Structure formats: C-alpha cells, structure tokens
Structure 1
Amino acid sequence: METARIPAHLEVTGLLRAVGARGGFGTVLAKGEREAGTLLVICCHRGTNGILFERMPQLDGTRKWTAIKQENPENPSEIMEYWQRRKRQDNDLWVIELDHPEAERLLI
C-alpha cells in the first residue's frame, strides 16, 4: 500500500534540520518542484565517499531509499555529473547533500 507523500520542500527542510541537529551539514544543490519533486540525496562525510540515494518503487507499492551510485575515487565528479544530467532532463528534481558520518540513517 502506498503511503501519502509529504511535500518535497518539507522533506528537504526536515532532512537539513535533522543533519544539522546531529552536528552535520546539509545543503540544497538543486531545487525542484515544491510539492511533488523527486528527491536525490547525497550522503557523505567531510565531502568525500559520497553515496547517491533515490527512492525507488518496490513491488508492494512502497518507495524505499536505495543507493544508486557510489563515489568513484578515480572519478570523484561522477555523482555530480550524474545528478546534473538528471536535472537537465527533470526540472522537478531536488538534489541535497547531507554531510555527516551517519547521514544515511536519516533516510527512512
């Protein structure tokens, strides 16, 4: 059963506040559609070892945060190039970065 979605801008604000409350840092890299935009989240620690997450539809109708790309030490700009390419195709896309050793825990 699919659950109701909270507006994208509220989810972004909540994630940024949650990482800040834990002593981390969060920033919006790209703003999307305020109510129903898709959200990509880059979790990293001290700006490195980034992992890009997106909610992916599951067979039961839910949407689960899934790691879709991990930073390649030989090409650290790969994640940025990926989300910028996606943003050009989808103006509704939000991209945020959460910088904290346990940032992934904020994704429920």
Structure 2
Amino acid sequence: MTKDRLPAHLEAAAIMRRAEATGGFAMVLRKGDPDRGALTLLLNERGEFRGILERELGPDFTYEWTFKKAEESQGSDSLRELIARRQRFDADSWLIELDIAEPERFIAETIHSS
C-alpha cells in the first residue's frame, strides 16, 4: 500500500515557506514536474554546505526522507556530479537550496513528519 503524497509543487512551496518563516532563505534551483517530481534539498547554514535531504522511494514503495551529510558528498565538484546524475536519472526532479539556522532540527522535523 502506498502512502498518499502531496503534489511536488505544493510540498516544495511548503518547505520553502517553512524555511523562510524561521528567518532562512530558500530558492528553487531547478523546477521539476509540478505533480510528481522528486525533491532534493541542499542544506546550508550561513553559506556553509551541511548536506542533502532527499525524498526517495523505499523498498516498501513509500517515500521516505534520507539525509546525506556534507562529508558524504564532499567538495563542490562531487556535489555538482551528484546533482547532474539526479537530473539525468529523473528529469522531473526538483532542486531546492535552503540556508537555514539549525539544519539538524529542520532535518529531524522533516523526516519525522513524513
């Protein structure tokens, strides 16, 4: 049984509003399919890259948020490669950059709300 999911454009807008409501900055770097695009969030804190938060299809066919720390995707070249791979694999995907205080809290709240 699959879990119902909001259209991607609504979820993207909600995530961006949530980041901005706490004084953060949010920007769409790549707009994907409004209904079914996957979401990838680049998380920064005061301009310093902290990691990537992605919603992925799990083995039980439900979507789950997963987090990869900055150390796991070290360097701007590998980050660009990762983004390029995601876009080649899923042309409908969204890429959103967030610069927020306490990204760990944002991650925890996002993962536990799904």
TM-score category, normalised to shorter length = 0.7 to 0.9
1:35 corresponding residue in structure 2: 35
Q: Is 2:8 the counterpart of 1:8?
A: yes
Alpha-carbon distance in structure 2 between the residues aligned to 1:61 and 1:17: 28
Q: Give the AA of the match of 1:56.
A: E
Change (3 A) 1:92 1:63: same
Q: Give the AA of the match of 2:38.
A: T
Whether the aligned pair in 2 keeps the contact of 1:2 and 1:61 (CA below 8 Å) is yes
2:51 corresponding residue in structure 1: 51
Deviating more after overlay: 1-10 vs 77-86: 77-86
Secondary structure (helix, strand or coil) at the match of 1:36 reads coil
The TM-score, its normalising length taken from structure 2, stands at 0.78
The TM-score, its normalising length taken from structure 1, stands at 0.82
2:65 corresponding residue in structure 1: 65
Unmatched 5+ stretches in structure 1: none
Higher share in helix: 2
- Structure 1 position 32, deviation (Å): 0.5
Whether the aligned pair in 1 keeps the contact of 2:38 and 2:56 (CA below 8 Å) is no
Change (3 A) 1:42 1:106: farther
CA RMSD of aligned residues (A): 2.0
Unmatched 5+ stretches in structure 2: none
